[in-house]
A and B are shown apart, each in its own frame.
Chain A
């Protein structure tokens, strides 16, 4: 594996490791952006109004049982090869955990805090955007980071239908019976997963109010 991984020839050109890494990272971040844009407003709205909660939970669980491979292949058969099927499959994978995390986070904000926000004259939009969502951030990040790990890992499968990303190394290696290349792909995906999680952990530290951190790492209100 190290022979393949550290061979300079594999680090250059349009099919080199850096290009594959970038493709993989692009799939991941674009998917997470789209999924967050769908899931956070939905989860927050349902969490805020309290209506349709069972629908959100039920839908999340049903989507979780959906095999991503099958979704990817179905969309390829319907819409043709390319990046579009990859995004459909990965977004469907990422939406449930983000939506469930946002919903649970907003529901879990203490009613006293929400009442206080209304009491000082905030509009409903202010209550949601300035009070409930900031307070729900730890759980929203929980769902988001879970989704990020799943998307990094699963984006590997995109290569099965000819798309790019680190999965190329795994599937090309498999086709050529080159275990070194397959292993290199597998290890790079796992490394990328750890890096992405660390990056979001850092972002979480920067954006979550220090008052919400667990006791011991910065005090609690």
Chain B
């Protein structure tokens, strides 16, 4: 712990990088997973393609994907995009199922009522289906966020930033405190992010608490 206090600026710097490298992919992956999940919730054919594909993508090890990405998209190995792209892939793979399950679970009579009241499809989706699907969606988002925060560190093995840098530097200089500092940072960040999403879910779905 003393290392963190003595090297506060450095710690803060890697924290910021770590946060950026884990939050950007969650947002991008979530944005991609909404239309794909919506598609999967409406079409059994889309489900038959998307779900097995998501499973296969999930079996690719993160270090492997981080190493392959620069070859596939033609950037240098030390580009941050090499961590962001794999994490977007994992987030989409995880969230497609969450979003699809959540949308499928919206009661049919509710959507029928909205349609009968004259809601057009897009407005119905944004103001009825999607809000009702939020609790399950946010549960998936919490899993994706925590696993992303833990996975960003792998990028340091090929020289990228974040807490993982403290791991590799600590290893090379036999500096246990530095590794511990990164470990504590990762776990605290994961717990905080999880808590923020939990709160966000509560604030966004006040109806879920009514009658309890």
Contact = CB atoms under 8 A, between A and B. Distances in A.
Interface string A165-194: 001001101100001001101110110011
A77 B59 contact: no
Interface in A139-188: 149, 152-154, 156-157, 160-161, 167, 170-171, 173-174, 179, 182-183, 185-187
B150 A66 contact: yes
B127 interface: no
A137 B191 CA distance: 31
Contacts of A189: 60-61, 64
Interface on chain A toward B: helix, strand, loop, or mixed SS?
helix
Contacts of B154: 69, 157
Interface in B23-75: 56, 58-65, 67-68, 71
A186 B146 contact: no
B190 interface: yes
A197 B156 CA distance: 28
Interface residues of A, number: 38
Interface in A56-80: 62, 64-71, 73-74, 76-78
B182 interface: yes
A148 to B, nearest CB: 10
A76 B168 CA distance: 12
A65 B146 contact: yes
B14 to A, nearest CB: 13
Contacts of B98: none
Contacts of B164: 67, 69
B157 A69 contact: yes
A167 B158 CA distance: 12
Given A67-B153, A67-B183, A69-B154, A190 B174 contact: no
B44 to A, nearest CB: 15
Interface string A20-42: 00000000000000000000000
Nearest to A180: B71
A74 B190 CA distance: 20
Contact of B59 (A68, A173, A185, A194): A194
A68 B167 CA distance: 11
A110 B73 CA distance: 51
13 contacts: A70-B153, A70-B180, A70-B182, A73-B171, A76-B171, A77-B176, A153-B59, A170-B67, A174-B77, A183-B71, A189-B60, A190-B64, A197-B59
Interface of B: 56, 58-65, 67-68, 71, 77, 146-147, 149-150, 153-154, 156-158, 163-164, 167-168, 170-171, 174, 176, 179-180, 182-183, 186-187, 190-191
Closest 4 pairs (CB-CB, A-B): A186-B64, A153-B61, A65-B190, A70-B183
